[in-house]
Structure 1
Amino acid sequence: MEPLLVTRELVAGYGARPVLHGVDCEVRPGELWAVLGPNGTGKSTLLRAVLGVAPWVRGEVRLFGRARAEWEPRALARKLAWVPQSFEPAEGFSGLELVLMGRGPHLGLWGLPSAKDTALARAVLEELGVASLADRPGEALSGGERRMLLLARGLVQEPELLLLDEPTAFLDVAHQVGTLDRVRARVDAGLGAVAVLHDVNLAAAFATHVLLLRDGKVLARGPVDTVLERGALEALYGLPMETALAPSGARLFAPRAPSR
């Protein structure tokens, strides 16, 4: 199956000092890649470089079989959706209007959403368990509620590839699990996705593959059951780790408490 995303020897960053150093990865349909690593190691920069927002110095980015530079923005937006880490101004818009912005690449000359577009947006809000936010004014939304609407906007875009930068930030545990569960359901149906995460256990529970980044370099990458193990995580975070097996069979990871 042809990859949706390929990076080869990617060197990218800001200013004179690159953040990423020779990053290789491939994402195919039906794969959810979790990107893990310490703060400042280049996880968000990787996604932004794929989008063309963070300049790369050397290497290659290919999307859907074509070089990133060959894509016209609107055409790419019909196939790739981006759920950013930071919030955008929401004042003056309802929750439904914010989500409908994701239909923009698919709209006609006048840019007006149809009844079908509105029905799709409401269905996604219902799927995510936040249908009550449809009529909520943007200025009355909490950080977590805005996060859920950003995800809904990305899903309404109906992409083939979904990039998510810390999609579980600002969310309670139930919504963290619900968010990744809905993304994984779409991945199982053929979507490709890359998510920057900080919670190793969420990555273990929902990702199919993981990419471990430290100091802008790939420490390890591959299927989650192969890569997520104590030694790799200790090298990634510079901390001793404990592992356990839950009665359900799920693997659990936690930093070892320092001796006192």
Structure 2
Amino acid sequence: MEPLLVTRALVAGYGPRPILHGVACEVRPGELWAVLGPNGTGKSTLLRAVLGLGPWTRGEVRLLGRERAAWEPRALARKVAWVPQTIESTEGFSGLELVLMGRSPHLGLWGLPSAADVALAREVMTELGIAHLSERPAEALSGGERRMLMLARGLVQQPELLLLDEPTAFLDVAHQVGSLDRVRARVDAGLGAVAVLHDVNLAAAFATHVLLLRDGQVLAQGPANEVLERGSLETLYGLPMETALAPSGARLFAPRAPSR
């Protein structure tokens, strides 16, 4: 199956010293990759480098079979959706209007959403449990509510590849699980997705594949059930880990508390 995203020998950074060092990965339809690693190791930089947003790069980035530089921005936005870590200014818009921004790459000359666009936006908001935010002004939204609306905006875009930078930040446990569950449902239907996460247990529960980054280099990558094991996580985070198997069969991970 043709990869949706390919990086080879990717080097990226914001100055003379690179943050990423020779990162290589491939993401295919039906795969949800979780990117895990310590703070400052280059997880967000990887996604931004893939999109050409800021950091200088060397190496190769291919999106849906074409060099990234060969894509016209609007055409790429019809295929690739981006849910950033930092939420841009949203004042002056309602919740529904924010979600409808995801339809922009698909709109015609006048840029006006159709009844079908509005219906799709409302459908996704209902699916995510945020239909009640449709008419709420952005100024009255919490950080978690804005995060859910940004996810809805990305899903409404109907991409082939979805890139998510810390999509569960500011969310309570129920919304963390609910949002990743809806992403995983689309992955199972053929979407490709990459999500920067900090919670190892969420990665174990929802990701098909995992990329472990430490000091800007790939420590390990591959199927989640192979990569997520105590030894690799102890190396990744530099602390002892405990593992357990839940009655459901789910694998659980936790840092070992220091002895007192």
Q: What is the TM-score normalised by the length of structure 1?
A: 0.99
1:125 paired with 2:125, answer: yes
Give the aligned residue type for 2:7. Answer: T
Deviation at 1:39, TM superposition (A): 0.1
Deviation at 1:28, TM superposition (A): 0.2
Give the aligned residue type for 1:174. Answer: A
In structure 2, what is the equivalent of residue 48 of structure 1? Answer: 48
Cα separation, 2, equivalents of 1:254 and 1:56: 36
Which has the larger displacement, 85-94 or 120-129? 85-94
Give the aligned residue type for 1:253. Answer: F
Could you tell me whether the CA contact under 8 Å between 1:9 and 1:59 is conserved in 2?
A: yes
Could you tell me whether the CA contact under 8 Å between 1:32 and 1:184 is conserved in 2?
A: yes
Deviation at 1:55, TM superposition (A): 3.0
Could you tell me whether the CA contact under 8 Å between 2:241 and 2:254 is conserved in 1?
A: yes
In structure 1, what is the equivalent of residue 139 of structure 2? Answer: 139
Cα offsets for 1:129-168 (capped at 9, x unmatched) = 1100001001000000000000000000000000000000
Cα separation, 2, equivalents of 1:73 and 1:116: 24
Could you tell me whether the CA contact under 8 Å between 1:162 and 1:192 is conserved in 2?
A: yes
Could you tell me whether the CA contact under 8 Å between 2:45 and 2:55 is conserved in 1?
A: no
Give the aligned residue type for 2:173. Answer: V
Deviation at 1:89, TM superposition (A): 1.1
Please tell me the root mean square deviation across aligned C-alpha atoms, in Å.
0.5
1:76 paired with 2:76, answer: yes
SS of corresponding position for 2:231:
helix
SS of corresponding position for 1:33:
strand
Deviation at 1:87, TM superposition (A): 1.1
Query: Structure 2 stretches of 5 or more lacking a match?
Result: none
SS of corresponding position for 1:164:
strand
1:197 paired with 2:205, answer: no
Deviation at 1:34, TM superposition (A): 0.1
Deviation at 1:90, TM superposition (A): 1.3
Could you tell me whether the CA contact under 8 Å between 2:102 and 2:157 is conserved in 1?
A: yes
In structure 1, what is the equivalent of residue 2 of structure 2? Answer: 2
Deviation at 1:57, TM superposition (A): 3.2
Cα separation, 2, equivalents of 1:159 and 1:21: 28
In structure 2, what is the equivalent of residue 218 of structure 1? Answer: 218
In structure 1, what is the equivalent of residue 36 of structure 2? Answer: 36
Cα separation, 2, equivalents of 1:206 and 1:232: 19
Cα offsets for 1:200-228 (capped at 9, x unmatched) = 00000000000000000000000000000
Cα separation, 1, equivalents of 2:179 and 2:49: 24
User: 4+ residue stretches of structure 1 with deviation over 4 A?
Assistant: none
SS of corresponding position for 1:18:
coil
Give the aligned residue type for 2:162. Answer: L
Cα separation, 1, equivalents of 2:24 and 2:121: 35
Give the aligned residue type for 1:137. Answer: P
Could you tell me whether the CA contact under 8 Å between 1:12 and 1:54 is conserved in 2?
A: no
Query: Structure 1 stretches of 5 or more lacking a match?
Result: none
Could you tell me whether the CA contact under 8 Å between 2:32 and 2:208 is conserved in 1?
A: yes
Give the aligned residue type for 1:58. Answer: R
SS of corresponding position for 2:18:
strand
Cα separation, 2, equivalents of 1:6 and 1:197: 20
Deviation at 1:58, TM superposition (A): 1.6
1:24 paired with 2:44, answer: no
Cα separation, 1, equivalents of 2:58 and 2:71: 18
In structure 2, what is the equivalent of residue 114 of structure 1? Answer: 114
Give the aligned residue type for 2:77. Answer: A
Could you tell me whether the CA contact under 8 Å between 2:49 and 2:57 is conserved in 1?
A: no
In structure 1, what is the equivalent of residue 183 of structure 2? Answer: 183
In structure 2, what is the equivalent of residue 86 of structure 1? Answer: 86
SS of corresponding position for 1:184:
helix
Deviation at 1:198, TM superposition (A): 0.1
SS of corresponding position for 1:17:
coil
